Amino acid sequence: MSVPQPQWTQEHIEALFALPFNDLLFRAQQVHREHFDPNAVQLSTLLSIKTGGCSEDCAYCSQSSRNDTGLPAEKLMPVAEVVDAARSARQAGATRFCMGAAWRSPQDRHIDALAQMIREVKELGMETCMTLGMLDDAQAQALKEAGLDYYNHNLDTDPEYYGSIITTRTYDDRLRTLRSVRDAGIKICCGGILGMGESRRHRAGLIEQLANLDPYPESVPINQLVPIAGTPLADAAPLDPIEFVRTIAVARITMPRAHIRLSAGREQMGDATQALAYLAGANSIFYGERLLTTNNAAENKDRDLLQRLGIRAESLND
């Protein structure tokens, strides 16, 4: 008999945030060790397969056509170029290859090429993930039939703060896409962004939304805002690193079997912050010197830090 998934209230999650830091990390580490090797991390590489020109108005995004960031709109990359990039990522140690396209949603005419990318990347022995905006049921099913392992569709923040960040897509739109993906049998990668001017209450509200998805996401990326010139959040105040680590710990406690991924913003984090995040239960990172349009921590720096911490990279056979 399966154990029912616990329901987390916002008040319960806020109480976790309010714990003394050492107590919170101790609890998160206990949960982490129940479900994962505490000294292993999963490496994913992210590639922008279609950059710029998105019609959405996300306040953080360099790829929105509404934000004056100077980023040109590009067409969908050829399949062969995507597969070459995946092959290089695999050789560098990544086990999951994530492909992102700056669309509100893909057109049906794109699906064949996307399906071919999925099939050829999987032939390399890698897990596949895509983030393409909103999907309908038929599109999600087509991606599943091509072999897609994960679909990324972040909630970004909680419902209360969401309208301060995005107005062109509703929260229900995002939840509807997640249902389509889950119904198709694809694993979910879903998280949010910290440091967009939200309060701790909003961060707790985001974790509440994620943890109460049934089931909760298999992969939870926690991004720290990278302020980009030309976006409404270009001058956002930096988030306290301790608060970032607290959020990682709360995510681990409330979603014990999920891979909690350190995502955007790692280039701006010191080694100590990242080490604390691993201690708090993070066990996945984006690996490689480029994310969609922003820089990421250099691969040699990641390898050096993981070696110093005694953390090994998961292999394709794990």
Q: Which of 98, 169, 190, 266 is catalytic?
A: 98
The residue from 61, 169, 203, 266 that is catalytic is: 61
Under DSSP, the state recorded for 72 is P
- Which listed residue (27, 174, 189, 246) is catalytic? 189
- Residue 78: other Cβ atoms inside 10 A: 12
| C-alpha–C-alpha distance, residues 123 and 41, integer Å | 23
Whether 54 is a known active-site residue: answer yes
Q: Which of 169, 174, 261, 266 is catalytic?
A: 261
Enclosing H/E stretch for 151: strand 150-152
58 is catalytic: yes
> 112: which residues sit within 8 A by CB, 6+ positions away?
none
The burial class, CB within 10 Å (0-12 / 13-18 / 19+), for 129 is buried
Distances (CA, A) of 12 to 23, 31, 136, 245, 247: 15, 17, 34, 18, 14
* Set 129, 174, 246, 252: catalytic member: 129
- Terminal-to-terminal C-alpha distance of the chain: 27
Q: Catalytic site residue 312? A: no
Q: Residues with catalytic annotation?
A: 54, 58, 61, 98, 129, 189, 261
